[in-house]
Chains A and B, each alone.
Chain A
Amino acid sequence: GAVVSQHPSWVICKSGTSVKIECRSLDFQATTMFWYRQFPKQSLMLMATSNEGSKATYEQGVEKDKFLINHASLTLSTLTVTSAHPEDSSFYICSANSRKETNYGYTFGSGTRLTVV
């Protein structure tokens, strides 16, 4: 089946530094990828939609300058958390549609646990 690889699985960084998270579709091309944030025992909150070759679309309330998204190829999208602060600590998940038709469902990466100290 379709596989989305997300790296790193976990990362610890110091306040003020930037962290990049990668999301790769391994066996299919993904023109659109989605980035979510999840707090413990809570639901997934959509942060932004990443479109290959164009600017990402951010959800209301998500800081574009803090969460930089780049989708430079059909198989790779990256999320960079800039000038990270402890409140940015969370679980970040990417997903992509593995079929032309969106109704086939989405494949999710394994997530990245970010801890900012």
Chain B
Amino acid sequence: AQTVTQSQPEMSVQEAETVTLSCTYDTSESDYYLFWYKQPPSRQMILVIRQEAYKQQNATENRFSVNFQKAAKSFSLKISDSQLGDAAMYFCAYLTSYGKLTFGQGTILTVHP
């Protein structure tokens, strides 16, 4: 079974600075998809970024980018120019071949003004 591990329960960053959230996963599949979701205090889950495993190029969405290391099974999220609105709980997720999302434990990100 696939597992997703986020080893940072909490992280903090100063506004306008850069922060990286870590995620590792375990799988025997070769084709899969990885996601980062954001859950702000409203608790609405919001898709931040998506990465297809067969693509070598790291995904980027505005201030959000990933460092996907397939061999190392690592999928970190970098947030540049952090904003107060980025404060949330972030979840790394793996999409199984059965169509189920497996989530990591989550990382609470605090942004200091």
Measured CB to CB, the residues of A under 8 A from B are 32, 34, 38, 41-44, 46, 49, 91, 93, 95, 97, 102-108, 110-111
User: Which of A34, A93, A104, A106 has the most chain B CB atoms inside 10 A of its CB?
Assistant: A106
Are the CB atoms of B35 and A41 closer together than 8 Å?
no
Residues from chain A with Cβ under 8 Å of B105 in the complex: 42-43
Interface size class of B (residues with CB under 8 A): 20 to 34
| Chain B at the A interface: SS class | strand
Q: What 1/0 mask marks residues of chain B from 31 to 67 whose CB sits below 8 Å from any chain A CB?
A: 0010100000011110100101000000000000000
Q: Identify B45's interface contact among A49, A95, A97, CB under 8 A.
A: A95
Tally of A-B Cβ pairs under 8 angstroms: 51
Is A44's CB under 8 angstroms from B91's CB?
Answer: yes
Chain B residues lying within 8 Å of A102, measured Cβ to Cβ, are: 33, 95, 99
Interface residues of B in 80-98 (CB under 8 A from A): 89, 91, 95
CA distance A32 to B100 in the complex (A): 10
Give every chain B residue within 8 A of A91 (Cβ-Cβ).
43
- Determine the distance from Cα of A38 to Cα of B45 in the docked complex, in whole angstroms: 12
- Which B residues are CB-close (under 8 A) to A49? 99-100
Q: Which 9 A-B pairs have the closest CB atoms?
A: A108-B45, A102-B99, A103-B33, A43-B103, A105-B47, A44-B103, A111-B43, A110-B44, A43-B105
